[in-house]
Amino acid sequence: MTTARMMPLAVGLFAIGVVALVAMFAVGSPGLPGWVFALGLLCSPAGLALGVITVIRDSRRPRARQG
């Protein structure tokens, strides 16, 4: 997968996880189903890790010579 496709996926995963975490704190524990907790605890770190891996992978890719 290219960087152009991986970075929006990483940002989307991270955003979904952050929204779930905010919902957990705003609504409270008893009012939410279990899948919201799973989204909050899995999507945020997964999106962050994918974003970091994408940036590192893109920075190590050899650039085409110009000239």
Residues 18-50 have pLDDT tens digits of 998 888 888 876 777 888 888 888 999 999 999
Q: Is residue 52 part of a domain?
A: yes
- The answer, yes or no, to whether residue 56 has pLDDT greater than 80, is yes
Q: Is residue 65 part of a domain?
A: no
Range of the domain at 50: 3-58
Q: Is residue 37 part of a domain?
A: yes
Q: Is residue 63 part of a domain?
A: no
Residue 65 has a pLDDT of: 67
Burial class from Cβ neighbours inside 10 Å (0-12, 13-18, 19+) for residue 48 reads middle
Chain centroid to Cα 19, Å, comes to 11
Q: Give how many domains the chain has, as a whole number.
A: 1
Q: Is residue 67 part of a domain?
A: no
